[in-house]
Structure 1
């Protein structure tokens, strides 16, 4: 029996946690789920009360929320070096970017895909997307500056925030005019994280599941 089970839907925020599982070389299984169903998978619902991915079942029970799952795995597998430890002068910056991605970037990314979560009126949904995109411009400028010494947040080795960011920047639609090249340091970051074998293995699994669902 695997040490972990990842509740996962293809091409979602679960990619970050999935990539971390690969990066730390964990013994895991994937429980593929469907989102937005009236009758959700009972095991998935038990692990994630809002039926959002990712959720993780492991030796300590279940954990949900992207950042929490990624950080939990990174701390359980310190040999992978994905956490800036307490006492390191970079620890504050590590926590800063970890939370910035969850509280400042992610909400506006979600609006680009699901404005209906916030309003039923299509006209207001379009306005929400527009105002959200204006905020994203500032967020990407901030991140582009933060990655100036890259390719990762802390140099040549990725940490948890790199996986959380990298799996979002795969979606070109979140960038103004769909153009990541306007932010060259973010583009370099995406290239670097996507070149990692762990991420490539994760993406292969997501592509295979997407293809399976289209049959």
Structure 2
């Protein structure tokens, strides 16, 4: 049985989607960020970077959300959540997974934690504004990529789709949120109908009313 150390609506959400999609046997273990439990000695023994999530697979911890998503997809090849070796879509899978985590997610982290990126507290508002503009451009790129497509890669669902859904949830309070983009909105609303997404959102306390 897997164990997923998580906190609602955090980077653990994408692995949580995948575990539900796989109908895997897993246990959710909440890490209380409000009390900084991710920095506790017990948690650091599993994940030395002190961030959420961590997956325990047969006693072995794995951290970093995209790594967990890829591991779960590779471990369950029949799910087709990652294109098989030799498929031209496999390179696209890694391209978009890296873009989502190394670019979009990284820029969102600056947006949410601007104080970590300046020694001038008066400059945090400018950082937030600049980041929202940068990330909105990324959403435009993704919206264009989804023109006429049901999924981000090829004709089938992949782990990248769950990762993009998670990041879109994080950006839902932007002046131009993901749901304001034509293609991205259709895409997200379709994903929101999946049983796995509904189950995770129920468990993590996210209303899907806006996706109806």
State TM-score, norm by structure 1: 0.87
Determine the structure 1 residue equivalent to 2:129: 130
Greater displacement, 145-154 / 195-204 = 145-154
**Unaligned 5+ residue runs, structure 2?**
207-212
Give the CA deviation at 1:169.
0.7
Structure 1, residues 158-200: CA drift from partner, whole Å, max 9, x if none?
Answer: 101101111111234463x043344211112211221110111
State TM-score, norm by structure 2: 0.88
Equivalent runs, 1:55-94 vs 2, <5 Å: 55-59=54-58, 61-94=60-93
Contact 1:35 1:51 in 2 (8 A): no
Determine the structure 2 residue equivalent to 1:193: 191
Structure 1, residues 108-144: CA drift from partner, whole Å, max 9, x if none?
Answer: 1112221122225332111111221221122111111
CA distance in 2, matches of 1:42, 1:58: 20
Change (3 A) 1:88 1:205: same
CA distance in 2, matches of 1:150, 1:42: 45
Instruction: Please state if 1:203 is matched with 2:204.
Output: no
Runs of 4+ with deviation above 6 angstroms = none
RMSD of equivalent CA atoms: 2.0
CA distance in 2, matches of 1:77, 1:164: 17
Please state whether the residue corresponding to 1:157 is helix, strand or coil: coil
Contact 2:92 2:153 in 1 (8 A): no
**Unaligned 5+ residue runs, structure 1?**
209-215
CA distance in 2, matches of 1:71, 1:143: 20
Please state whether the residue corresponding to 1:116 is helix, strand or coil: helix
Instruction: Please state if 1:170 is matched with 2:169.
Output: yes
**Aligned pair count?**
205
Determine the structure 1 residue equivalent to 2:25: 27
Change (3 A) 1:38 1:66: closer
